[in-house]
């Protein structure tokens, strides 16, 4: 349980850092937030795809 909570904590921190790193420091704007949200969603989708592929490869490896 603690490992899962730690994983969630690290995930939130990483994607928060990606979002805040993408927003420019000129002040709040709709364009900046939209761009940052887009980059964060792409990064999250990539992480989800990687997790799915790792799970699939583990299952295929266990079938042999």
| Per-residue pLDDT tens listing for the chain (64 residues) | 688 888 888 888 888 888 777 776 666 677 777 888 888 889 889 888 998 898 888 777 666 5
Write out the residue range of the structural domain in which residue 13 sits: 2-63
Percent helix, strand and coil across the chain, each to the nearest 5: 85, 0, 15
> Distance between terminal CA atoms of the chain?
30
Number of domains forming the structure of the chain: 1
- CA dihedral over 18, 23, 28, 30, signed as positive or negative: negative
Q: Using CA atoms, how far apart are residues 4 and 41, in angstroms rounded to an integer?
A: 22
């Amino acid at each position: 349980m603690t490992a899962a909570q730690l994983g969630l904590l690290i995930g939130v921190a990483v994607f928060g850092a990606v979002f805040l790193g993408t927003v420019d420091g000129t002040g709040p704007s709709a364009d900046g937030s939209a761009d940052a949200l887009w980059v964060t969603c792409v990064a999250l989708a990539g992480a989800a795809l990687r997790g799915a592929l790792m799970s699939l490869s583990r299952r295929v490896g266990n079938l042999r």
